[in-house]
Structure 1
Amino acid sequence: MSSASLTILIADDNNTDRRILSAIVQQEGHKVVEATNGEEALERFNESVPDIILMDALMPKMNGFEASRLIKQRAGNQLVPIIFLTSLQDASSLANCLESGGDDFMSKPYNRVILKAKINAFGRMRRMHDQLQSHNRQMLLEQQVAKTVFDNVAHSGCLALPNLRHSLSPLAVFNGDTVLAERKPDGGISLFLGDFTGHGLPAAIGAMPVAEIFYGMTQKGFAMEDVLREINAKLYTILPTEVFCCGAMVDLDVTNKMARIWVGGVPSVYLYRGDSGAVEKVASSNLPLGVLPSRRFSPQPNDYRMHNGDRVFLWSDGIVESHNEAGELFGEERLDALFTHATDPDRIFDDILVAVDQFIGGSRPDDDTTLLSATMVDLDVIGLPLLHSNKASIGGPMDWQMNLQLGPQSLGAFNPLPLVLNILTEVEGLRSLSGHLYTVLAELFNNALEHGVLGLDSKLKQDSQGFAQYYQLREQRLADLTSGQVCLDISHRPLGNGGELTFEITDSGPGFAHSHQDLAYLTDNPDYSGRGLALVRRLCDELDFNDAGNRVRATLCWPRPAWSELHLNG
């Protein structure tokens, strides 16, 4: 059968009319299927699935109107044109032909030229519909494959941690909202919520490089500002002018109990205090990512002190801009009321989703609604991240020593920790200990920088005001730094089936008075000062300061017990 040949169902109880129609249709090269009433028409439709139906309006057992409605229901998304054949002439009857599912009608007696033209026209329409359906199926298949790749890249990470919750309600296979979470080498958690302009595949394209940069740099210990700069530079380079990414990023330091928050273009991040129920809003104070060139982009995050049980909530504007059937927006006031009247912090996340869903009611959402929350917990709850290696337990450089000396310009603009960690994990046996290594290295380096070179006092962090003052002073003194240095001496030697790694960090500061009793005090100190050194003491085999207090030496041997064993025995 040629591409122009169609299967046409003729349903007419009049034998003469049916035979005349069959002869006309067959002469045009089409196949004919006949039915003498509405019930037979349904049966023949199920058997042959015709391309076009010529339907008499008035037939016994079941008229053409009812048969047409049932056929359209069974056809679903399939296009089956129905041309009504009728001797009725009044407008109401002719309108009924169309309302019952008909696509056209012809009045008796039939005009052969017009009938041929209608069949050809609907044949072309049917073929175009089939082509569109085929293209649509291919497009959906390609989107599903792309979505699988997209999900593997954009939705990996640590979203399954017990202190994290997230909800994504996309409008399409792809959507403009992105939720990312990854462990930092020191045990902390980095979160990112992005909302690209637009919907569907164009809006989701930018999420791929964002995810790659976020996961790669976070795992290596880069600072939030460095991650944001890299993401902004990439998006500015690859995206068209009208596409950019509104977003929010949160770094949770579970050791020192603080959150660093950056907001650029999305609704305010809410910091919920678990003990009092108070809410601090961190409003957007930065432009979205991908708008400014690198030289003009300068992320400005804020630091907040946190306690266990405190929560951060991030959402896309699809939450606050959800509307009901009356066109009213859900708005920030309704969100505030949910927090004000919350009696169980564990239910706030679900209460938000339920409230938005009930508010929308029967209205169709016109934007992606995305929600992310994180609860501050102790490191023991989530443990240190592990980077597993598929290679042998011993490999890479084994007997080596390195020295890195940083002057004032480098200290003010360069974070050496990701570089040093990358070198350390070249030793295969140390790769799975990247969390331990980064924690030790970061705490000792930051102590040397902040207390030795910058002269900051940790006792400032005893309350929220002092906490903010501490980090303001840190940024100010770094910007004004003209002298001082920090030296890192790191060595590794093989030891049996493992090895021994030694850190020696020296700063140019005056040092501080200390004793072994001081270090014991740090282990049990519940306040914010000293938490880091207490953790380092648990992670290392040895931790010693020189007499002046401006040089610290830490030794770590591997293989090591699991984090849970360190916790139980610590």
Structure 2
Amino acid sequence: MLKVLIADDSETDRFLVCKLLKHLGYACESVSNGAEVLELFDKYRPDILLLDVLMPKMDGLKLAGAVKKLAGEDFIPILFLTGLHEVEFIERCLDSGGDDFITKPVNPRILKAKMSAFGRMRTMQNSLLQHRNQLRKHHQQLLEEQSVAKHVYDAITGGGSLDCGTIRHHMSSLAVFNGDVLLASIRPNGNLMLLLGDFTGHGLPAALGSMPLASSFYNMVATGFSLPDILRELNQKMSSLLPRGFFCCAIVAELDFIRYKLSVWNGGLPTGYFFQQEDDDYIPLPSTHLPLGVETGERFSDECQVLDFNEEDRLLIWTDGIYDVRNSKDERIGPDAIDHIVAQHDASKIDELFDTILMAVENHMGGDSTTDDLSLVEVLTKAPEADVDAIQQPSSHSGPLAWQFEFEIKPPTFHSLDPIPVLMTFLSQVPGLGTKATSLFTVLSELYNNALDHGLLGLSSFDKRNSEGFSNYYHERERRLKNLTDGYVRFTLRLTTGQHAGRLEVSVEDSGPGFDYQLHKQGVNNLLHGRGIDMVRQFSQSLSYEGRGNIAKAIYVWSLSG
């Protein structure tokens, strides 16, 4: 039942109108002036207000404005009761806050019709307010949930090595979550790995794909997996997790600071550019693959574009949000404008190209917001400043105190499996070894590479004495590896830990012919004591050879006291 409050200084008029309203099914209260309305308003809280225009103490025109303020967001219709019919007067009534008027003497049929109409409006307004309040509540709950999800998202996708001193990036998004993702991490061998991805869609759906992508990327890089292995794992994960029609366009790059090689895989992102300072030239890095999550199994290709680099070179990549920014006329900036900026840029001012592109995009947008997630990344080809050992945190597991583990590899597994990341994943669970990624990776990989390259494949380190020989060495390595049909490399790991230190004995045996290691002294035989073996000696407590020279044993010791 709707409640009506009548304010009229005429007792007769109040009585008649109130009687009519009660007959129509309304609850009714009446007062004689505006001041009494204000006193009774909060207690009675009427649904509809009928006000005489001319009343003592406070007339209806002033009272209407005061009531609207008291009502706040609540819609309480105000109908004026008046015997005046002048247009100017009626206009003043409506301008003061009134919603309609009823002329005196009151016609019962007019009163019924107007009360019914405003009653429906009042009910509708209440319903709208309830729905609005529910939406506000749900919106607040959504914001709180997104805040928690954003915290998890940032923890998983952030960090890494983006602050290693060689990466500059600009990322903006349409929503709380970004459909673009930028990941960077350093392999235990010092190589910088970078991934720029652009997921289908925006917001939370895109972020859900970014989290497993980032988790796999960081875990695999930290344990030393190669770029092809990482690409295949990421593609498989995206294929299995993302729904049909969702995928991740990506550029994945690796900078090898020992061989000075840049490897780039582009699956669906715009053509990037690699600037070579020495040649004063831009090399395009076009998309040659489908996005991650589209191809499956053997149809997926991990083939990369490989380039030589010097320390003065730089890599520029971006997502297609750069092309899709629009101005106030809804015009895209488009790829031609960006390509023109790159082509016409002064090579002597290459360090300004990043800012030039970004400024052109912002100028095109003016004050408008972007129409897509937007990311621009520049990578300098100099060794990063980050501490690789600090990237992988120590394990929270207590770990075994003593064990022995044997792991043997035979053809054709050599060509398809790198055993070092497998061993690193296992050893990272040992207390104290989780923070020794660089040195431990170096010991394992150098002993393994020597066993495989020199022991089984019969390659000589002398072939790597210059850049051309280095390239020929790896081509010959690939050829011999494909033709290898027999032999093995066997790892034997023995671990013991005490109260303050741990000891890992690494034995790497190959089935090759070996050599007379007793005739060679440290620093004389380049095959045995090249740069890699010198690093093994540096990181190990001791290094020795046994058998016919085909068994290398290194003792690795670390502190457990932090």
TM over 0.5: yes
Matched, 1:159 2:182: no
Distance in 2 (CA, whole Å) between partners of 1:141 and 1:9 is 42
The residue aligned with 2:187 is 184
Distance in 2 (CA, whole Å) between partners of 1:458 and 1:355 is 51
Distance in 1 (CA, whole Å) between partners of 2:528 and 2:381 is 21
User: Relative to 1, partners in 2 of residues 1:558 and 1:322: Cα closer, same or farther, differing over 3 Å?
Assistant: same
Q: Please report how far the alpha carbon of residue 171 of structure 1 lies from its aligned counterpart in structure 2 after TM superposition.
A: 0.5
The residue aligned with 2:420 is 417
> What letter corresponds to residue 401 of structure 2 in structure 1?
P
User: Relative to 1, partners in 2 of residues 1:136 and 1:484: Cα closer, same or farther, differing over 3 Å?
Assistant: same
Matched, 1:201 2:204: yes
Q: Please report how far the alpha carbon of residue 169 of structure 1 lies from its aligned counterpart in structure 2 after TM superposition.
A: 0.7
Contact 2:461–2:527 (CA<8 Å) still a contact in 1?
no
The residue aligned with 2:107 is none
User: Relative to 1, partners in 2 of residues 1:160 and 1:43: Cα closer, same or farther, differing over 3 Å?
Assistant: farther
Distance in 1 (CA, whole Å) between partners of 2:456 and 2:94 is 89
> What letter corresponds to residue 218 of structure 1 in structure 2?
V
Contact 1:256–1:532 (CA<8 Å) still a contact in 2?
no
The residue aligned with 1:373 is 378
> For the aligned residues, what is the CA RMSD?
4.7
Matched, 1:300 2:316: no
Distance in 2 (CA, whole Å) between partners of 1:86 and 1:355 is 60
The residue aligned with 1:49 is 72
The residue aligned with 1:360 is 365
Runs of 5+ in structure 2 lacking a partner? 7-12, 30-44, 52-57, 81-86, 103-109
> What letter corresponds to residue 325 of structure 2 in structure 1?
S
Q: Please report how far the alpha carbon of residue 247 of structure 1 lies from its aligned counterpart in structure 2 after TM superposition.
A: 1.2
Given candidates 380, 389, 410, the residue that maps to 1:385 is 389
SS in 2 for 1:198: coil
SS in 2 for 1:237: helix
Distance in 2 (CA, whole Å) between partners of 1:157 and 1:64 is 68
The residue aligned with 1:396 is 400
Matched, 1:441 2:444: yes
Distance in 2 (CA, whole Å) between partners of 1:124 and 1:45 is 19
Q: Please report how far the alpha carbon of residue 248 of structure 1 lies from its aligned counterpart in structure 2 after TM superposition.
A: 1.7
Matched, 1:429 2:452: no
SS in 2 for 1:281: strand
1:145-294 mapped onto 2 (5 Å cutoff): 145-294=148-297
**Which deviations, in whole Å up to 9, do the C-alpha atoms of 1:493-522 show, x marking residues without a partner?**
668943444444454567799864457999
SS in 2 for 1:221: coil
Distance in 2 (CA, whole Å) between partners of 1:322 and 1:36 is 58
Runs of 5+ in structure 1 lacking a partner? 11-15, 69-82, 88-106, 524-529, 563-570
Distance in 1 (CA, whole Å) between partners of 2:528 and 2:240 is 48
Distance in 2 (CA, whole Å) between partners of 1:329 and 1:458 is 56
User: Relative to 1, partners in 2 of residues 1:397 and 1:547: Cα closer, same or farther, differing over 3 Å?
Assistant: closer
Q: Count the aligned residue pairs.
A: 509
Distance in 2 (CA, whole Å) between partners of 1:38 and 1:309 is 79
Distance in 1 (CA, whole Å) between partners of 2:366 and 2:5 is 44
SS in 2 for 1:251: strand
Distance in 2 (CA, whole Å) between partners of 1:354 and 1:508 is 61
Moved more, 354-363 or 536-545: 536-545
Distance in 2 (CA, whole Å) between partners of 1:359 and 1:432 is 47
Q: Please report how far the alpha carbon of residue 350 of structure 1 lies from its aligned counterpart in structure 2 after TM superposition.
A: 3.6
Distance in 1 (CA, whole Å) between partners of 2:282 and 2:111 is 76
Contact 2:199–2:246 (CA<8 Å) still a contact in 1?
yes
Contact 1:9–1:54 (CA<8 Å) still a contact in 2?
no
The residue aligned with 1:558 is 558
Distance in 2 (CA, whole Å) between partners of 1:188 and 1:249 is 13
Q: Please report how far the alpha carbon of residue 59 of structure 1 lies from its aligned counterpart in structure 2 after TM superposition.
A: 9.2
Distance in 1 (CA, whole Å) between partners of 2:219 and 2:93 is 65
Q: Please report how far the alpha carbon of residue 240 of structure 1 lies from its aligned counterpart in structure 2 after TM superposition.
A: 1.7
Distance in 2 (CA, whole Å) between partners of 1:488 and 1:163 is 36
**Which deviations, in whole Å up to 9, do the C-alpha atoms of 1:10-40 show, x marking residues without a partner?**
9xxxxx99x989x979759844688979997
Distance in 2 (CA, whole Å) between partners of 1:492 and 1:306 is 41
> What letter corresponds to residue 142 of structure 1 in structure 2?
E
Distance in 2 (CA, whole Å) between partners of 1:487 and 1:413 is 16
* TM-score (normalised: structure 2): 0.74
**Which deviations, in whole Å up to 9, do the C-alpha atoms of 1:94-139 show, x marking residues without a partner?**
xxxxxxxxxxxxx999833322233333333333233223222222
Q: Please report how far the alpha carbon of residue 5 of structure 1 lies from its aligned counterpart in structure 2 after TM superposition.
A: 7.2
Distance in 1 (CA, whole Å) between partners of 2:159 and 2:95 is 53
Distance in 2 (CA, whole Å) between partners of 1:318 and 1:202 is 17
SS in 2 for 1:382: coil
* TM-score (normalised: structure 1): 0.73
Distance in 1 (CA, whole Å) between partners of 2:421 and 2:170 is 31
Distance in 1 (CA, whole Å) between partners of 2:426 and 2:203 is 41
User: Relative to 1, partners in 2 of residues 1:522 and 1:508: Cα closer, same or farther, differing over 3 Å?
Assistant: closer
Percent identical pairs in the alignment equals 32
Q: Please report how far the alpha carbon of residue 298 of structure 1 lies from its aligned counterpart in structure 2 after TM superposition.
A: 3.4
Structure with max Cα Rg? 2
SS in 1 for 2:273: strand
> What letter corresponds to residue 199 of structure 1 in structure 2?
H
SS in 1 for 2:407: strand
User: Relative to 1, partners in 2 of residues 1:456 and 1:349: Cα closer, same or farther, differing over 3 Å?
Assistant: farther
Contact 1:384–1:436 (CA<8 Å) still a contact in 2?
no
Contact 2:187–2:223 (CA<8 Å) still a contact in 1?
yes
Q: Please report how far the alpha carbon of residue 55 of structure 1 lies from its aligned counterpart in structure 2 after TM superposition.
A: 7.5
User: Relative to 1, partners in 2 of residues 1:118 and 1:47: Cα closer, same or farther, differing over 3 Å?
Assistant: closer
Q: Please report how far the alpha carbon of residue 176 of structure 1 lies from its aligned counterpart in structure 2 after TM superposition.
A: 1.7
Contact 2:463–2:470 (CA<8 Å) still a contact in 1?
no
Distance in 1 (CA, whole Å) between partners of 2:446 and 2:285 is 27
SS in 2 for 1:166: strand
Contact 1:164–1:372 (CA<8 Å) still a contact in 2?
yes
Q: Please report how far the alpha carbon of residue 477 of structure 1 lies from its aligned counterpart in structure 2 after TM superposition.
A: 4.4
> What letter corresponds to residue 382 of structure 1 in structure 2?
A
User: Relative to 1, partners in 2 of residues 1:53 and 1:375: Cα closer, same or farther, differing over 3 Å?
Assistant: farther
Contact 1:318–1:368 (CA<8 Å) still a contact in 2?
yes
User: Relative to 1, partners in 2 of residues 1:388 and 1:128: Cα closer, same or farther, differing over 3 Å?
Assistant: closer
Distance in 2 (CA, whole Å) between partners of 1:5 and 1:295 is 73
Moved more, 499-508 or 313-322: 499-508
Contact 2:500–2:560 (CA<8 Å) still a contact in 1?
no
